[in-house]
């Protein structure tokens, strides 16, 4: 796919973890990547150096709050003025308060989580038509298997993932005639700062003890799936939630621990 015509790709919140790895992957294939970040969260020179150290085209970095309409319009207008188009939108920003007990359940916190983690996939796409006159070809939201499985402190984060996975089906229906391809990409837990802030640093040691080597998906592997979903080779998949997990989720659980008890030293 390295011979495809250069595209312009927007990755919101793409300076860390999964978002940054996806940005690397698109840049690796010659695309112009635009990355947004929160105020005071990074030094732009450090991010640019990470790309240039990999011999990748430098991204265009822009501070923008995904729930601030003025920031959104300013961002998209600047992309239009600099690059003239926008082909791919990766809606990566995810924010949710940790829920350690029922006392942390708060309506305002839940709605704020939805506003940051779900609404940009809708509002950014609508604003793109206003600014560019056309929609992007691909819109990808990110998810996890949190809606299906219990994760420590993850109540509100899981709820936002579930909302995105339902909305993507309806968005695909409403935008179908516009030829915008909406999909959600799910993953197993991937070791990032965000994951460790949710589960705690001891998670790394725990999975090292109970996970079989080779079953834990890597960031670069997940990024390759994200790229492929926007490559043109998977355009028949629309309004879907695709899980990149090496098929391992099927075998995870007590039965797997029992079957592999000798290997795991149980």
In a domain, residue 210? The reply is no
Digit-coded pLDDT (tens) for 215-229: 677 889 999 999 999
Mean pLDDT of the 238-254 span: 86
User: CA 225 to CA 8: how far, in whole Å?
Assistant: 18
Per-residue confidence band for 2, with pLDDT thresholds at 50, 70 and 90: very low
What pLDDT does 1 receive?
Answer: 47
**pLDDT > 90 in the chain, percent:** 65
Q: Are 230 and 22 in contact (CB under 8 A)?
A: no
Range of the domain at 24: 8-203+217-251
Give the rounded distance of the alpha carbon of 47 from its chain centre: 18
In a domain, residue 157? The reply is yes
In a domain, residue 66? The reply is yes
In a domain, residue 258? The reply is no
Digit-coded pLDDT (tens) for 159-218: 999 999 999 999 999 999 998 999 999 987 666 666 656 666 776 677 667 666 656 778
| Average confidence score pLDDT of the chain | 89
In a domain, residue 209? The reply is no
In a domain, residue 262? The reply is no
**pLDDT > 70 in the chain, percent:** 89
Mean pLDDT of the 106-115 span: 94
In a domain, residue 263? The reply is no
Number of domains in the chain: 1
In a domain, residue 105? The reply is yes
First to last CA, the chain: 45
CATH number where 189 lies: 3.40.50.720
DSSP the chain: -TTSPP-EEEETTTTSHHHHHHHHHHHHTTPEEEEEE-TTS--HHHHHHHHHHTT-PPPEEEE--TT-HHHHHHHHHHHHHHHS---EEEE--------SSGGG--HHHHHHHHHHHTHHHHHHHHHHHHHHSS--SEEEEEEESTTTS--TT-HHHHHHHHHHHHHHHHHHHHTGGGT-EEEEEEES----HHHHHHH-THHHHHHHHHSPTT-SPPHHHHHHHHHHHTSSTTTT--SEEEEESTTGGGG-SHHHHHHTHHHHT-
pTM of the model: 0.89
């Amino acid at each position: 796919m390295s011979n495809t015509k250069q595209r312009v790709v927007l990755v919101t919140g793409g300076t860390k973890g999964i978002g940054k790895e996806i940005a690397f992957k698109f840049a690796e294939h010659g695309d112009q990547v635009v990355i947004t970040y929160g105020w005071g969260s990074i030094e732009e020179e450090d991010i640019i150096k990470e790309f240039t150290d990999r011999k990748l085209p430098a991204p265009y970095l822009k501070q923008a709050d995904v729930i601030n309409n003025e920031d959104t319009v300013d961002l998209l207008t600047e992309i239009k003025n600099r690059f003239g188009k926008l082909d791919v939108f990766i809606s990566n920003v995810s924010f949710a308060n940790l829920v350690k007990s029922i006392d942390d359940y708060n309506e305002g916190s839940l709605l704020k989580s939805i506003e940051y983690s779900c609404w940009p996939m809708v509002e950014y796409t609508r604003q793109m038509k206003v600014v560019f006159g056309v929609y992007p070809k691909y819109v990808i939201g990110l998810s996890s298997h949190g809606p299906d499985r219990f994760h420590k402190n993850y109540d509100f984060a899981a709820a936002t993932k579930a909302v995105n996975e339902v909305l993507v089906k309806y968005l695909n229906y409403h935008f179908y005639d516009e030829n915008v391809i909406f999909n959600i990409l799910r993953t197993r837990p991937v070791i990032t700062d965000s994951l460790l802030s949710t589960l705690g640093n001891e998670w790394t040691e725990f999975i090292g003890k109970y996970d079989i080597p080779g079953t834990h998906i890597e960031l670069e592997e997940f990024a390759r799936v994200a790229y492929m979903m926007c490559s043109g080779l998977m355009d028949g998949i629309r309004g879907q939630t695709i899980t990149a997990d090496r098929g391992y989720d099927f075998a995870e659980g007590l039965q797997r621990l029992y079957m592999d008890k000798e290997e795991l030293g149980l």
